[in-house]
Amino acid sequence: MFQFDFLNDSFDKLPEELKKIIDDPEKRKKLIIYINPPYAENGAGVGKGASKAGVSSESKIYYRYTVSLGRASRELFTQFFIRIYVEIAGCKIAAFSKLKYINAPNFVKFRAIFNAEYLKGFVCRANTFDNVDGNFPICFLIWNLENKQQISTIECDILDNDGNIESTKNYYSYQGHKYINDWISKFAISEDRIGTLFFNSNDFQHQKFTYFSLAQDAKSITAFPISLNNT
């Protein structure tokens, strides 16, 4: 057991035997990095409530990769992923994280770099973890970094709160196609309005903000008019 700041420390601070494995391309192929990194955004440019205490200052990994990753570099779990991918090349990652690196538009640059073979994974509700209240999905995915493959589709087991497999589900990466928020905008007609469809982002974490109403509501970012001409 040893203490190591993965987003700031040099690998020279690692125990000697572990450092030898990381420095050896053949030994790295047998190395499995099992992580449950924090799900929080770094402080630069992050909106109110988006970051957690203790992550307001940027890490060395953030500055090292922010140009190549764009906005994805603000996510702390992404910083763990990119350092492993680039600096411990060829190993395997078994990691808990949010699903956004698979399908979110802010992660296009990340997916252009992170090319790896998907092996297996599952998705569960975030509130199955201690001290987590959110009802958003958390995935546990295993990647072989030795085999370079672009992320396109992954199939995951869906677990209930007791750890039983409910079903399987496919998740698809963003490949330049329009999201539903962009697609629906071309059908907006304000005349003869009979109601409003409210929605926020495209991901599951914001599904509770999608609903129909007869009135305006500030809780959702987008208000789509429902009229006699677009129903």
pLDDT of the chain, 231 residues: tens digit per residue: 899 999 999 999 999 999 999 999 999 999 999 999 988 876 544 444 445 545 545 799 999 999 999 989 999 999 999 999 999 999 999 999 999 899 888 899 999 999 999 999 999 988 888 877 777 889 999 999 999 999 999 999 999 988 899 999 999 987 777 777 777 777 877 777 788 888 776 666 666 778 878 775 555 567 878 887 775
DSSP string for residues in 90-143: T-EEEEEE-THHHH-GGGHHHHHH---EEEEEEEEEGGGSTT----SEEEEEEE
Both 185 and 155 in one domain: the answer is no
In a domain, 155, yes or no: yes
Residue ending a domain, among 129, 144, 172, is: 172
Residues 197 and 128 in one domain: no
Q: Report yes or no on 6 lying in a domain.
A: no
Query: Does 107 fall in a domain?
Result: yes
- Give the Cα-Cα-Cα angle 175, 38, 140 (nearest 5 degrees): 55
Residue for token digits 């009979």?
194
**79 assigned to some structural domain:** yes
Alpha-carbon distance of 102 to 137, in angstroms, equals 13
Residues 6+ away with beta carbon under 8 Å from 216:
196, 223
Same domain, 141 and 192: no
Whether residues 56 and 90 share a domain: the answer is: yes
Q: How many CB atoms lie within 10 A of CB 3?
A: 6
Domain with 91, as residue range(s), is 11-172
Q: Of 126, 152, 172, which residue is a domain's last?
A: 172
184 and 167 in a common domain = no
Are 94 and 131 within one domain?
yes
